[in-house]
Structures are given as C-alpha cells and as structure tokens.
C-alpha cells in the first residue's frame, strides 16, 4: 500500500513539475517575443486584415473612435478579431491611419504576446519620424518608466500603409512592468480644452481633463476625489504647508524630474505645453492618494535648441508653485543637467538619432504618406542632429545661470 501511495505521490509531483514548466516556459517565451517586437534595431512587419467595408468606415470616420475587427499578424503570431480604431489628436489621418489595437475588445482576456493593447503611431506629425522613439529612450535612460517602442512596416490587407512606430500601450501590462502592480488608478490626460492646473471644483469636472483607463465603472467620487484634492491644494497659497499638502497627492520630485526631461528635450506639447498640460498619464497606486506622471506621445520634442528651461512655468499653477521651493527647484535643475549630460556623453543623443534613422531609412523612403517626402525627412533629421549637439550645452549653461540666481 505504501509503495502504491509513494508511486502516486511521485506521479503527482512530476505532473505538477511538468505543468509548472509549461506555464512558466510559456510566459517566458511570450515575454521574449514581446521584447523582440520592441526591438528597435530592426523594422518589423505588422500585417492587419480588415474587411474592406470596415476599412472604408474606418477611413471615413477617422475622427471618431469607431472600432472595427481586424486580424493582426506579426511574424508567426496571429490574433483574430482584435478591435482596431483610429487614434491621435492632431495626428489623426484618413490616408495614414493612426491605430490603436485592443486585443481584448471583443474577447475578454484575449492577448497578443501577453499585452492587451498596442498603438501603431502613424508618425505624421514628425517629419523626422524618430522624435518619439528617441525621446522615450531619454526618459527610460533617466529612470522614468516609458512605453517601449519600435518601428514597423504596416500593411493593411496586403497594401503598404506606411512606416509606423509600434508603441507599448500604457495599460495594465505596462503598469505591471513599470510598477509591479496593475490594480491602481490610471488616467489619460484627455485634451478637450487647455488645462493648466486650475481648481475645477467638483469631481465630475475632472472627468473632462483626465479620462480613466482603469476602474472605469467606479463612481466619480472614488475615481476623482484625490485628483480634486490635488488641484484644490495646488491652488492654495504656496505657504510652508503647501508642499506637504500637495505632496500628499502627487510625487513632486517625480513631477519636476518628468518636466525637466521634457524641457531638456524642448517639448512643446507636454506638461508645460503651448496648449496647457498635455501628453501624459496620471497613475495612483492601489489604496494610495499620491499620483505620478507617465510619459506619453513625444512627437513635438526637439522644438528649439535655445528654448528657455523655465518656459511657461509661470503659466502652470502646479509647476509655478512647486518650483518656488528650493529643494524642488534644485531637483528640477539637477534633472535638467543629468538629461543634458546624458545626451552629450559620447554624443549619445546624436548617435541614437543617426542609428534609429538608419534603421528606418528604407521603410521611410517607401512610405508615400510621409508628409513632405524623404527630402523633408532628411532635413528634419539633420536638424535633430544639430539639436543633439547644441542643446545639451545650452541647457547646462542655463542651469548654471539659474543656480547662480538663487
């Protein structure tokens, strides 16, 4: 009897080991495949199959978030009936569709390489095509969680749609990778009108500014109470308790670091953008009140080599008050200097621009939807290289000048 029991136990143990190996092995393989998809040393090939009727509708209604089903294929991996919609703000285009792919739109739990969503950025607002990729690399190298990106030739129904950036969606998968958790509250800055950190009053008013991407069905009072409290406190007098009160609702050091990197890259459409706060996510961990920023959509960086490092700070209720505190101002200037020195070290930023531009060169030349054509792209890349060479020195000089003031 004991021998029989022992044999059963051994069989059970072996079964558990085999099952565990299969599950873990599958997960590792999926993660590896995802890493390969975001390998920016090559231009990938992503193929979408969309019923021609749906494709017509997608192009005709590209300004709306109309979902249509699509089969998505990359290498040997294929997902059927993913949900695809037009995306972007200024970058929306009927001729070169900017696309968001939600693999779980029609089938709860469906994933592609373990992710629920992907973004195919049509790059139409960036004549150089590499601003977004290079900017995200800067954020990542400075320790800020940033979406992974690579490039792909995108074919829709076997027709070449153009060169796209494959962008990791900021969703549960991203949160798991960046923060090791998925159950927090994620909001996307929803651009309906300029917003510069004013106190908007009740919670529902913030729904027009920050769109929930998790916990969407929860009540506004739960979703937005900490955000309402944040901007209420932001707009109180910047006295000795301001920092403590505001710091309860936002990680101020992370905030000024994020903005410093944007400023270093001369971002025109970021937190201190020309049209108010734009292109970021707010994230609040589970059970927490403190928010942090997550970078998004960096196709308006590299605007001007000599743009001020305090440009539009005074227009923003949050940053103008935060940078009045000496330690936060020091953290801001430190982050600016780190960014500039990273860019300058070994000519890293220019090398990155040259490397990425070379990777996409052939695919870009074939992209007939590229605004301005290849000559414009070459000129834009030349400007980015000049920016990469000259901007770091300008920033370091400005940082020194700001430090000298105080």
* Residue 77: CB minimum distance to another protein, A: 14
Closer by beta carbon to another protein, 105 or else 312: 105
Residue 124 phi, psi dihedral angles, 5° rounding = -75, -15
Closer by beta carbon to another protein, 18 or else 107: 107
Task: State the residue for tokens 């305090």.
Answer: 310
Task: Count CB neighbours of 388 within 10 A.
Answer: 22
* Residue 120: CB minimum distance to another protein, A: 16
* Residue 136: CB minimum distance to another protein, A: 31
* Residue 48: CB minimum distance to another protein, A: 8
E-strand stretches of 178-326: 185-189, 210-212, 280-284, 291-295
What size, in residues, is the chain? Answer: 406
Going 270 to 275 to 277 to 279, the CA torsion angle's sign is negative
Closer by beta carbon to another protein, 161 or else 337: 161
Closer by beta carbon to another protein, 118 or else 333: 118
Contact between residue 187 and residue 210 where contact means Cβ atoms under 8 Å apart: yes
The whole-angstrom separation of Cα 92 and Cα 96 is: 8
Closer by beta carbon to another protein, 52 or else 244: 52
Closer by beta carbon to another protein, 52 or else 216: 52
Which residue from 162, 196, 185, 219 is spatially nearest to 374, judged by alpha carbons?
A: 162
For residue 79, the surrounding DSSP H or E stretch is strand 77-86
* Residue 401: CB minimum distance to another protein, A: 58
The whole-angstrom separation of Cα 283 and Cα 286 is: 10
Contact between residue 135 and residue 352 where contact means Cβ atoms under 8 Å apart: no
Q: What is the torsion angle, in degrees rounded to the nearest 10, for the CA atoms of residue 173, residue 174, residue 176 and residue 181?
A: -110
* Residue 73: CB minimum distance to another protein, A: 10
Closer by beta carbon to another protein, 86 or else 125: 86
Closer by beta carbon to another protein, 156 or else 278: 156
The tokens for 401 are 């000048």
The whole-angstrom separation of Cα 170 and Cα 298 is: 14
Which residue from 26, 192, 47, 194 is spatially nearest to 111, judged by alpha carbons?
A: 26
* Residue 117: CB minimum distance to another protein, A: 16
Closer by beta carbon to another protein, 66 or else 311: 66
Closer by beta carbon to another protein, 81 or else 308: 81
Task: State the residue for tokens 């136990």.
Answer: 9
Q: Beta strand pairing status for 149-156 and 43-49? A: parallel
Task: Count CB neighbours of 193 within 10 A.
Answer: 9
What b/e sequence results for 97-119 when a residue is b if at least 16 CB atoms lie within 10 Å of its CB, and e otherwise? bbbbbbbbbeeeebebbebbbbb
Please tell me whether residue 119 adopts helix, strand or coil conformation.
strand
Which residue from 301, 309, 310 is spatially nearest to 383, judged by alpha carbons?
A: 301
Please report, as ranges, the residues that interact with another protein according to CB under 8 A: 49-54, 69-71, 80-81, 83, 105-108, 110, 157
* Residue 98: CB minimum distance to another protein, A: 19
* Residue 329: CB minimum distance to another protein, A: 52
* Residue 314: CB minimum distance to another protein, A: 50
């Amino acid at each position: 009897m004991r021998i029989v029991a022992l044999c059963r136990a051994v069989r059970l143990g072996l079964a558990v080991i085999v099952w565990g190996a299969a599950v873990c092995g599958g997960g590792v393989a999926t993660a590896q495949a995802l890493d390969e998809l975001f390998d920016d040393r090559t231009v990938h090939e992503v193929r979408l199959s969309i019923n021609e009727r749906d494709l017509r509708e997608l192009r005709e209604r590209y300004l709306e978030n109309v979902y249509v089903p699509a089969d998505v294929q990359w290498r040997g991996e294929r997902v059927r009936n993913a949900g695809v919609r037009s995306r972007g703000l200024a970058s929306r285009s009927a001729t070169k569709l900017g696309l968001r792919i939600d693999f779980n739109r029609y089938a709860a739990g469906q994933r592609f390489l373990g992710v629920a969503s992907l973004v195919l950025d049509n790059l139409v607002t960036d004549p150089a095509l590499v601003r977004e990729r290079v900017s995200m690399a800067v954020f990542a190298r400075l320790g800020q969680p940033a979406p992974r990106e690579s490039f792909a030739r995108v074919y829709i129904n076997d027709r070449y749609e153009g060169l796209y950036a494959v962008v990791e969606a900021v969703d549960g998968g991203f949160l798991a990778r960046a923060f090791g958790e998925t159950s927090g509250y994620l909001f996307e800055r929803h651009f309906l009108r300029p917003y510069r950190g004013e106190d908007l009053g009740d919670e529902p008013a913030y729904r027009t500014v920050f769109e929930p991407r998790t916990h969407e069905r929860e009540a506004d009072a739960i979703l937005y109470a900490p955000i309402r409290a944040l901007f209420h406190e932001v707009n109180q007098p910047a006295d000795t308790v301001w920092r403590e009160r505001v710091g309860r609702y936002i990680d101020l050091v992370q905030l000024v670091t994020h903005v410093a990197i944007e400023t270093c890259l001369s971002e025109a459409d970021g937190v201190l953008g020309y049209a108010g706060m734009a292109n970021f996510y707010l994230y609040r961990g589970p059970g927490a009140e403190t928010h942090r920023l997550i970078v998004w959509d960096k196709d308006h960086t590299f605007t001007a080599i000599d743009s001020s490092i305090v440009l539009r700070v005074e227009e923003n209720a949050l940053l103008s008050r935060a940078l009045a505190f000496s330690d936060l101002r020091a953290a801001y200037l430190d982050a600016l200097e780190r960014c500039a020195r990273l860019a300058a070290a070994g000519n890293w930023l220019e090398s990155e621009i040259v490397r990425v531009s070379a990777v996409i060169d052939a695919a870009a030349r074939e992209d007939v939807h590229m605004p301005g054509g290849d000559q414009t792209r070459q000129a834009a890349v030349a400007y980015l290289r000049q920016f990469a060479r000259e901007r770091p020195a300008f920033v370091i000089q400005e940082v020194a000048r700001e430090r000298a003031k105080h």
